Amino acid sequence: MTHSIVGAIEYVQELMRGLGGMRRAPNSPPENAGAFPFAMAYEGPGRWIIGEPMGCRTYLGDIVLEVHVARRDLPRDVDTLRRYIEDVPEQLAADVTLNSTVATIVGDVTFEGLVASGYAGVDTLAYRWRIEVKVQAA
């Protein structure tokens, strides 16, 4: 398989669809979440290194992953999210090439913890991870 940041994002969403209790994890951001818990992966900051190694393009950057629940009942909402604290990194550690879409996950997967958020006009609570990846292409 060819390395691809878009392919990696889609694979992360596939992993999220396989987690227990996840109601929605579309490959492209929808106009509204539709159902919660809801996962969304997208490209974060990164940089392209041209010609290293010779004749290649190397991308080092983040895939940002958010898992949202609608904000209704704080204790229940937090309990719903907590199941993913360890499930997400466990899934990522099981395949650091993300189904061969990247060369590897680089270094740490950063967990930003519980954040007040929103999606399409709905107040949410979310967990956010930053997954640094390396993509190489000829």
Domain boundaries, the chain: 5-137
Query: How distant, in Å, are the alpha carbons of 19, 36, 87, 125 from that of 77?
Result: 17, 10, 17, 7
- In the chain (138 residues long), the average pLDDT of successive 10-residue segments reads 88 96 93 91 94 85 96 95 95 95 92 93 96 91
By the 8 A CB rule, do 125 and 77 touch?
yes
Identify the three-state secondary structure at position 62: strand
Extract the tokens encoding 25.
């994890």
Extract the tokens encoding 79.
């309990």
Half-sphere exposure of 11 (CA within 13 A, CB side): 21
CATH superfamily of 5-137: Phage minor tail protein U (3.30.70.1700)
| Contacts (Cβ under 8 Å, ≥6 apart) of 100 | 1, 3
| Contacts (Cβ under 8 Å, ≥6 apart) of 34 | 23, 24
Phi, psi (rounded to 5 degrees) for 67: -120, 120
Extract the tokens encoding 54.
């010779």
Q: What is the pLDDT of residue 10?
A: 97
